[in-house]
Structure 1
Amino acid sequence: MSNTLEGKAVLVTGASSGIGRATALALSKSGARVAVGARRADRLKALTEDASGEMLLLELDVTDRQSVDDAVAATVEHFGALDVLVNNAGVMLSSPILGADTTEWTRMVETNLLGSMYMVHAALPHLLEAKGSVVQVSSTSGRVASATSGVYAATKFGINAFSEALRQEVTAQGVRVVLIEPGFVATELTTHITDPAIQAAAKSMAESMRTLQPEDIAAAVVYAVTQPEHVAVNEILIRPTDQTR
């Protein structure tokens, strides 16, 4: 029998758009009570109008440890538990390494890698108590690095490594660690790229295929966290059928 999400408390980061938004809605539809966190808290209000059940809105900056601790504490205080953490917040600021604006490197490392680590650190005591799940949204870039994506890939390789170490530490205590690695997804992620040529190339590549939709990734998350307790879906690599690499 599948593990039900009915009444379970979930925290989703980066919930204001894209995969985070779609995942929050899918989990809500599956019966979960969902805390949604994002820096753009104003965008979260619209999300609650589309939700199937109770949602808790949190202004959350994953790069700020106090903000992370506060968000986890607020979730537990409101719902009485934390059963699932979906670490989704991320930025992709692609550029060649030569001449790069290194402040963009810092932003990617702090958001994508350190941010997800801080979230796990704050949430883990509660997840151990609940025998819950950690969902880490990585990328195909966490498996294969490519030109102009060096630092982004480094953060995603880091997430993969951290997730495997985490899995080994907590799986015997009933906490399941799920790594989701999407290929091209139709989100606003590429719109943050400041290099016009690379942004155009990303747009062109996306237009060359039937990209995944955020809802496709959300469905994978719901699948993974609704398996029976003895089943750990540790890794889901999900690409558009048309994506060759």
Structure 2
Amino acid sequence: MTDKVVFLTGAAGGIGSATARKLADRGFTLYLVDLKNKQKELQQLASSLPGMHYDDAIDLRDRSSIAKAVKRCIAKTGHIDVLVNNAGLMHPSPLARAKETEIDDQLQTNLYGAIHLTNLVLPHLLQSRGSVVFVSSLAGIVPAPLHSVYGATKAALRSLSMSLHFELREAGVSVTCVLPGTVAGAMTNDMARRSSSPMAYVHPPIDVQSVAEAVVRAVYSKQLEIYVPYGQGFWSRIGVLFPGLLHAVFPVMAKKGSRNYEKWTKSGVFGEMEHSK
């Protein structure tokens, strides 16, 4: 058991709810936040977990909403020991046809919101010598057409995490970035219904439980990065080291991804994922 408090964004479903269950089982007190229209799911989650937990509405696109949620968390729990920046969204599209609102939503939710929230929570983490976990993506390492804005936010999030890792380690605050591949769940289902990159389907979608386990490991570890699965992360980094190889490898991988997409669509994989959140 522990008296530590975790501030967890994007907690209503997918990686967030799976992570919440694993942290609650380890005795953490959870301050679960998500959008206002997800409050019913949040309340059900909080009430189903062992121990005393809290749920709250937050809009990471709104700085005042972020500030109010942090203040309410401190008022109710007294401290914050762990911040998990998990919330994120994706609107795959060719950039030339991307809607301004969808571009802004991805930038503000995935990146700006995480920056502003971390900035406000850091004084509390410095006091508790706590930890920050950023949930990024392998899309932030390997470029994929049609995912340019999403990939840019995740690449920036990874860079932010790495900088903070070294900036804060002497102060006793650990910072770790978790980078999963394509994850089974609502985001991937939505992606599959839109114009998305075949690179997203080269490998089978990862179960949310595997990503949640990585997030929990990040809370306890002082690692710079954790890849899920490790093998995909390894080859992604190799590809970036030799960018010229991407021109040769991409067409082959894209064909494989397209074949998998067709196969998985026909077999109902994306529909099944709706129930695995």
Q: Tell me the secondary structure at the aligned position of residue 97 of structure 2.
A: coil
Match of 1:112 among 110, 125, 146: 110
Distance (Å, rounded) in 1 between the aligned partners of 2:232 and 2:123: 41
Contact 2:133 2:176 in 1 (8 A): yes
Query: How far did residue 72 of structure 1 move?
Result: 1.3
Distance (Å, rounded) in 1 between the aligned partners of 2:198 and 2:230: 18
Distance (Å, rounded) in 1 between the aligned partners of 2:199 and 2:166: 36
Contact 2:181 2:232 in 1 (8 A): no
Distance (Å, rounded) in 1 between the aligned partners of 2:99 and 2:64: 27
Contact 2:93 2:147 in 1 (8 A): yes
Match of 2:69 among 68, 71, 77: 71
Could you say which residue in structure 1 is the equivalent of 2:216? Answer: 222
Residues 1:31 and 1:153: Cα distance change in structure 2 (over 3 Å): same
% identity of equivalent residues: 34
- The residue identity in structure 1 corresponding to 2:12 is S
- The residue identity in structure 1 corresponding to 2:216 is V
What is the CA RMSD across the aligned residues, in angstroms? 2.2
Distance (Å, rounded) in 2 between the aligned partners of 1:20 and 1:138: 13
What is the correspondence of 1:1-245 to structure 2 with a 5 Å cutoff?
Answer: 6-39=2-35, 40-193=38-191, 196-198=193-195, 205=201, 209-227=203-221, 232-239=222-229
Structure 1: unaligned runs, 5 residues or longer: none
Contact 1:13 1:20 in 2 (8 A): yes
Contact 1:10 1:83 in 2 (8 A): yes
Q: Alpha-carbon deviations, 1:62-121, whole Å to 9, x = none?
A: 111111111111112211110000001100111112222232111100100001101101
Distance (Å, rounded) in 2 between the aligned partners of 1:61 and 1:202: 30
Residues 1:150 and 1:185: Cα distance change in structure 2 (over 3 Å): same
Q: Tell me the secondary structure at the aligned position of residue 98 of structure 1.
A: helix
- The residue identity in structure 2 corresponding to 1:84 is V
Could you say which residue in structure 1 is the equivalent of 2:252? Answer: none
Distance (Å, rounded) in 1 between the aligned partners of 2:78 and 2:105: 33
Rg larger in structure: 2
Distance (Å, rounded) in 2 between the aligned partners of 1:93 and 1:236: 25
Query: How far did residue 35 of structure 1 move?
Result: 0.4
Q: Alpha-carbon deviations, 1:178-207, whole Å to 9, x = none?
A: 1000002112113444x945269689x3xx
Residues 1:96 and 1:120: Cα distance change in structure 2 (over 3 Å): same
- The residue identity in structure 1 corresponding to 2:229 is R
Distance (Å, rounded) in 1 between the aligned partners of 2:58 and 2:88: 13
Q: Tell me the secondary structure at the aligned position of residue 53 of structure 1.
A: coil
Report how many residues are paired.
233
Structure with greater helix share of residues? 2
Q: Tell me the secondary structure at the aligned position of residue 35 of structure 1.
A: strand
- Per the normalisation by structure 2, the TM-score is 0.78
Residues 1:200 and 1:69: Cα distance change in structure 2 (over 3 Å): same
Distance (Å, rounded) in 2 between the aligned partners of 1:235 and 1:67: 29
Contact 1:86 1:134 in 2 (8 A): yes
**Moved >3 Å (runs of 4+):** 199-203, 240-245
Contact 1:179 1:236 in 2 (8 A): yes
